Amino acid sequence: MRARALLWLNIAVKGALIALLLFAVFSGAHQFQGKAMEGRALTYPLAALIVPLGWWLWGRRDSRLYPYALDIFLVLPFLIDTAGNALDLYDTIDWWDDFNHLLNWGLLTAACGQLLLRYPLGRLNVVSLAIGFGAVTALLWEIGEYYTFIRGGPEEQTAYTDTLGDMTLGLVGSVVRRSLR
């Protein structure tokens, strides 16, 4: 019963992500201007494919053992980011970007932790690897943000401070999520 509910939640999260990305690309709404939505529409769905593809490549077939929590935790940050843009939260709520980085890196770290728990690594190793994953991906995200829509744009003058804050919050989100386990 639990697996069936997680399956439907997983489908809902992925369906909502695809629907919002299509809305972002084809609506022409002002809140998506300058937010690299075309790039997001091309790359965000990859997050929705990683776990099913990995499951299939490693020959897993029993749907009762499918890592639904890992899949949901991996896709949720992309849905939350897209929803934040759709609702214009980045431009209307000062703290939304910071909250988004904190929450989403907590979720991404939870996804990493779900994967690592499948291996005999020990608690300290799982926590260390998950936090390292969170820190590295937060840094890579900020590099991607810089090259896709900050460099040469109106935010370039203040981006360094924002980037340092975002990286710090991404790391804190990674540590807090693993500490609550």
Q: What pLDDT digit, counting tens, does each position of 96-143 carry?
A: 998 998 999 999 999 999 999 989 999 999 999 999 998 888 888 877
Rounded mean pLDDT of the chain? Answer: 87
Give the per-residue pLDDT at 163.
73
Nearest to 104 by CA among 66, 141, 158: 141
Collapsed DSSP state (helix, strand, coil) of residue 78: helix
Q: Are 17 and 33 a contacting pair, CB within 8 Å?
A: no
Q: How far apart are CA 104 and CA 80, in angstroms?
A: 8
Q: What pLDDT digit, counting tens, does each position of 148-167 carry?
A: 766 777 776 766 667 767 77
Label residue 178 by pLDDT band (50, 70, 90): low
Q: What pLDDT digit, counting tens, does each position of 85-95 carry?
A: 999 999 999 99
Given the structure tokens 């997001």, which residue do they identify? 40
